[in-house]
Structure 1
Amino acid sequence: MSRRSVLRAVGAGAAAPLLAGASSRASSAASDSWTIVALPDTQYYANNERRYRFAVDQTDWIAENADAENIAFVSHEGDVVHEGDQTEQWDRMDDAMATLDGVVPYSTLPGNHDYADTRNRSSGLDNYVDYFGASRFDGYDWFGGTGPSDEEANSYQLFSAGGYDFLHLALEWEPRDETLEWARDVLDRFPERPAVLTTHAYLTDGDREGGDESNPGRARFIEEENGDGNSGEQVWRRLVAPNSQVFMVLSGHFHENLNQDADPQTSGEYHQVSENDAGEDVYEMLANYQKRDGSGFSLLRRISFEPGSGDPDRISVSTYNTYKDEYETDDNSEFAFDLDFDERFAQESSTDPTERFSFEQGADGYEGTSDTNLREANPQTGYGDASTVTVDTKEPQDSDNRAQALVRFDGVIGDGDGQVPPNATVNSATLTVETVDEGSGGAVHRLLREWSESDTWESFGGGVSADGSDATADPEAKAEAVSEGPTEIDVTASVREWVGGEPNHGWAILPLGDDGWDFSTAEGDAPPQLTVTFEPGDGGDDDSEDGTGDGSDGGDGTGDGGDGGDEPNEPLPGDADGDGDVDDADVDLAQRHVANEDVDIDREAADMDDDGEIDITDVVEIVDETGGR
């Protein structure tokens, strides 16, 4: 690794900016750019003979401009029709979408209105499968297949553009657990392809309960009448965030902005940039114009990929009305993201040793979460079946009674499939809880004693004491002034203790103030989740050459069989990972530390200039120690 590559890698950690109002129209015609078109909900075109022409206008424009715009893919965001049991509506959309057959790769997916009975998954997708199932696409080499198993609600496609090979996932409305598992399998089959994911209901444009627009973002609720599915937030946590291949998510369905008495002509748009578990940007976009005049007429999204047009490259998004031949130019309709295509679209080799496991009640068969509330006001009452817990110094209000929460994930450490091995190097661990009522937050203490969901305030002898007996005296993390939505807590220190042999009793979350904090439990709609990123150990024995043996080599257990003195061995300068030599792995570890990643590093060895800090100067000196390869 050269000095130049080190400096470039460290500098690449800055997040890509989101550019409001940036236009793609001037540069999209460049020969090396390409376009993805997103077709929002067409349900009100399908159920009305007069409005049907807008759907025809959309697909005619795509077919006529496929070459000029270099359209690489078209993604329909669901709700193909308004009433899934009406074949007349399917006939209309069949004819409209047929314009794209043999012209450009495209996908459809079922929205809630595409089921025979809206919002009832069990009513079936017979008409959807007849018109837009696998048989429609089987003859195209870009069509990957459907799933899970022999179902046809979900599909994937493979396409190429700009010298890159892409994967597209088209997932059903509120994807089920088995659908997310299928999607993960597809991603694993194509690990070197950057992926775009489209699903019907993912991102919202406002607070569905009314009031102000304080709560746009990923959906945190399930609308399927039997609760059979995952919300947008759950799709993010279970599929998008842990899979760095996915760089973009497209969705429709929502127009919650109307609940705030907003101008109907502004509803159905929202976008945000989120950081996945690997620290990379994911571009999330909502487009749904069905509640606007003329049901949006024929508005669609043009997503233009423009090499060299930004810093250094750019994804420009514009909203185009094919019927009126005009663009919307407000900041929610025209915007852009700057990024480096080569860096973001180049997927890591599958030989990367880093692994990531998530533990969440009901996900992938995991059933090991325990949680409960200890309430001073009800000292003999157990709360193991409660759907939420409260953390507060005044519960109920106007009292001095405290409320504490206990959370534990069993089976995290072990040698079985899906467990973190005892000899692993833990890079990070995050506890994510769904805050349902904002408040002062809590201090997270590692518990030191056994407990069960039947425990009470009284059985703990007056609640948890953070004194080194019930729980650690010092909190391992704090969640302060929490807001509604996902709350992430760094619990890396705890998981490292468990990997090192300490028993896993979970955490006690103790109140930081008198504004009560409520979050969902394993029995609630959004169970707590523990995510651990780690590097598996080598499984070596205790008599290793690095000085951690048992002393059988004639020494005192410090490794070199020396005089048994009390002074520890001096670290090897530059040996940031403590493996006994200085190589590119040490350079990489130091780089990651400088980029503010949470890594396990020998600070003394990595601090080459002995100034008490590890910075880019130390990284360059470590490179020199390796010979500047």
Structure 2
Amino acid sequence: MTDPETDSGARFPGETTRRTVLKTISVGAGLATIGGTVSSAASEDYWTVVALTDTQFYARDERFGREQTEWIVNNLEAENIVFVSHGGDIVNNADNDDEWAYMTDAMSLLDGQVPYGTVTGNHEYEEWFDRSSSIENYKQYFGPQNFTDRDWYGGAGPTNGDPNRDELNSYQLFSAGGYDFLHLALEWEAPGSVDDPDTPLGWAQSVLDDYPDRPTILTTHSYLRDDTEDWSTVVQEVDDDGNTGATVWESLVKPNPQVFMTLSGHWFNDDGEYRQVSMNDAGSPVYQMLANYQGRDLRGEGYLRRIEFHPGGGTDAPDRIQVRSYSPVLEEYYEDADSKFGFDLDFDERFDASGSDSGDDSEASADFRQGVDGYAGTVDTNLVEKDPETSFETASTITVDAKEPQDTQNRAQALVRFDDVFGSGETQVPPSSTITNATLSVETVDEGSGAAVHRMLTEWSAGETWDSAGDGIQPDGEQATVDPDTEVGPVGTGPTSIDVTGSVQAWADGETNAGWAFLPLGDDGWDFATADSESPPRLTVEYEPPDTSEGGSGDADGDGDVDGDDVDVVQEHIADKDVDIDTEAADVDGDGDVDIGDAVRIRTEAGGE
């Protein structure tokens, strides 16, 4: 990540030989542990992957980097460390020979001891955000020629004849716990398309295609952000030559079920830690983690990530991945929730060839968030009683409050809707699907009493006001449902998740998607970010597509094509009108009757909204 502090230094000579091993001490596994052994568990009980990231200031200041790798080597057996990943920004200034010498010395302690992989960060380029600037020193000291004698090193690519661009991505193979893993090391803001194997993303896809049965960890420098608490959505490379984290997720991670974990760094706003679990196309969880400690005391104090795989250690599932942030320099852990957490899962099921915990290939998921993967369908606004004719459609936050302002009885309500959720598009949910889980996630910027979340029954626009809604929204069974889908509160700052499975199922069954009304539960105002903010609301839907194997064609009027006339015929039939209808063709979901769900699916097939 960029920092205003810089060092100057002469460029390395253009050597192409293998980097010099600068070890000055023996680091065999039998030596005394440096920094202490932090777990007394038997090594055969679990295995550990260590994640290093953003060591640029360790390189600049020549401290902490060597302590990290010394601890790793001296705890290989005690902690059963099977792999080490470095997430990029190895050095701060790519043309500074002292920085490269220090980090090469530190990383070379791992040679012959444990498999490891590195990726490029923007600081590996002489001009930090310019991919066309020299990356010669990274390639000299961490390029594929340095690993030719390692049987765990799979290879590097792609290769197109450009010395400054070739072979910046690599993959490694390792085994632990009876499983054979693949580690995919992807360059900073990896350019290209998965459909083009001559580009970094396409090369990565080809590696995944070659190893479809290996559970995969993907490391890349810029992927998740802790400030927006989501994938990165802006390319920082000066010529826009690269892909965002959101694109890497949508095009590479999500479609490939063997990718079960991602590791990244680069971004730091507060503590430089963030995690999220997203469902891939197979309906399986992908555990995604950001760690970047450089914003903390002494630029990180040597903290690293310990990712421990504990068979039989789960509570909600048989096994557990336990994650902890540990400093071998201080011999201390961070104990906050961002630094110490875990994921319960079944290793056998998640690490199988399909990557699906459920073993049910029919499950799928869809994500909707403004600005991500081209989605632009989020609509939200505030209805404020004290400003009854004012529209808040472009506001960056929404307030839900029974007293707004506090010394009045005026209320503030919120409306949120996601358009184009259902349809036949690749990123949409098919009508008549069974919704297994739907979660609305909002970013709370000011804690408060919370809200009752009612499904809206009438349509509304972003320009809606308190007066145009008819004295605000009433939960009367006409404007909004009498009973809320759920109640949320009290609410603290940060991400807030809301279970909206009932609403989304109703829409899948043919009810009108008019979004939700957030009605106040108390007089402590709750503020959350809107679609016009940097942290827009997000709707995640997990579903089972309808079984259409026995369904009709949709040609309800029997004229040989599926169009709006078929929709009209079905709607008239549902309304008990006397119409000429082919009920077998109209029953597109194959459930034995013709209902609103069939009408919705025929409308979608006909190209309607």
TM-score (norm 1): 0.62
1:472-503 Cα shifts (integer Å, max 9, x gaps): 22222222211111111122222222222222
Quickly say closer, same or farther: Cα 1:344–1:468, change in 2 above 3 A. Answer: same
Pairing 1:38–2:32 present: no
Cα deviation, residue 412, structure 1: 1.0
Cα deviation, residue 353, structure 1: 0.6
Cα deviation, residue 508, structure 1: 1.9
Contact 1:33 1:304 in 2 (8 A): yes
Name the amino acid aligned to 1:368: G
Pairing 1:78–2:93 present: no
RMSD (CA atoms): 5.5
Residue from 330, 349, 361 that aligns with 2:370: 361
Pairing 1:409–2:418 present: yes
Contact 1:34 1:306 in 2 (8 A): yes
1:427-448 Cα shifts (integer Å, max 9, x gaps): 1211111111111112222222
Match of 1:168 in 2: 183
CA distance in 2, matches of 1:426, 1:318: 34
Cα deviation, residue 219, structure 1: 8.4
CA distance in 1, matches of 2:443, 2:190: 19
Contact 1:289 1:299 in 2 (8 A): no
Name the amino acid aligned to 1:418: T
Task: Report matched runs for 1:5-404 at 5 Å.
Answer: 23-28=38-43, 30=44, 34-48=47-61, 51=62, 55-56=65-66, 58-59=68-69, 71-98=81-108, 100=110, 104-111=114-121, 113-114=123-124, 116=126, 126=135, 130-131=139-140, 135=144, 142-143=153-154, 157-170=172-185, 189=209, 192-198=213-219, 286=291, 288=293, 296=301, 305=309, 327-328=331-332, 341-342=347-348, 345-346=351-352, 347-348=355-356, 352-404=361-413
Cα deviation, residue 403, structure 1: 1.9
Name the amino acid aligned to 1:109: V
Cα deviation, residue 401, structure 1: 2.3
Match of 1:619 in 2: none
Match of 1:472 in 2: 481
CA distance in 2, matches of 1:528, 1:334: 26
Quickly say closer, same or farther: Cα 1:126–1:425, change in 2 above 3 A. Answer: same
CA distance in 1, matches of 2:75, 2:448: 52
Residue from 417, 436, 451 that aligns with 1:442: 451
Match of 1:623 in 2: none
Match of 1:419 in 2: 428
Pairing 1:503–2:512 present: yes
Quickly say closer, same or farther: Cα 1:434–1:45, change in 2 above 3 A. Answer: closer
CA distance in 2, matches of 1:276, 1:114: 32
Residue from 500, 506, 528 that aligns with 1:519: 528
Cα deviation, residue 69, structure 1: 7.0
CA distance in 1, matches of 2:343, 2:514: 44
1:91-143 Cα shifts (integer Å, max 9, x gaps): 5434543454566432223456556566x578978467645776557857644
1:518-557 Cα shifts (integer Å, max 9, x gaps): 111111111111111111112233699xxxxxxxxxxx99
* Aligned-residue identity in percent: 49
CA distance in 2, matches of 1:367, 1:137: 46
Contact 1:192 1:348 in 2 (8 A): no
Match of 1:460 in 2: 469
SS of structure 1 residue aligned to 2:437: strand
Contact 2:272 2:295 in 1 (8 A): no
CA distance in 1, matches of 2:255, 2:527: 26
Name the amino acid aligned to 2:52: L
Name the amino acid aligned to 1:43: Q
CA distance in 2, matches of 1:338, 1:386: 39
Contact 2:89 2:124 in 1 (8 A): yes
1:304-338 Cα shifts (integer Å, max 9, x gaps): 5565789987767788887x8x9547868999988
Aligned residues: 499
Match of 1:595 in 2: none
Cα deviation, residue 187, structure 1: 11
* Structure 2: gaps spanning 5 or more residues: 1-35, 195-199, 555-572, 575-589, 593-609
Quickly say closer, same or farther: Cα 1:385–1:533, change in 2 above 3 A. Answer: same
Quickly say closer, same or farther: Cα 1:184–1:468, change in 2 above 3 A. Answer: farther
Match of 2:602 in 1: none
CA distance in 2, matches of 1:294, 1:421: 48
Quickly say closer, same or farther: Cα 1:441–1:224, change in 2 above 3 A. Answer: farther
SS of structure 1 residue aligned to 2:502: helix
CA distance in 1, matches of 2:434, 2:340: 44
* Structure 1: gaps spanning 5 or more residues: 1-20, 209-216, 258-267, 545-555, 558-577, 581-629
Contact 2:225 2:274 in 1 (8 A): no
Name the amino acid aligned to 1:371: D
Pairing 1:432–2:437 present: no
Match of 1:11 in 2: none
Contact 1:423 1:499 in 2 (8 A): yes
CA distance in 2, matches of 1:33, 1:96: 26
Name the amino acid aligned to 2:508: V
CA distance in 2, matches of 1:455, 1:372: 7
Contact 1:194 1:246 in 2 (8 A): yes
Contact 2:156 2:168 in 1 (8 A): no
Cα deviation, residue 272, structure 1: 8.8
Contact 1:445 1:472 in 2 (8 A): yes
Quickly say closer, same or farther: Cα 1:27–1:236, change in 2 above 3 A. Answer: farther
Higher mean C-alpha deviation, range 495-504 or range 95-104: 95-104
CA distance in 2, matches of 1:275, 1:105: 28
CA distance in 1, matches of 2:447, 2:192: 28
Higher mean C-alpha deviation, range 74-83 or range 412-421: 74-83
Higher mean C-alpha deviation, range 534-543 or range 270-279: 270-279
SS of structure 1 residue aligned to 2:100: helix
Q: Identify the structure with bigger relative contact order (alpha carbons < 8 Å, sequence gap 6+).
A: 1
Contact 2:325 2:334 in 1 (8 A): no
Contact 1:110 1:128 in 2 (8 A): no
CA distance in 2, matches of 1:475, 1:494: 10
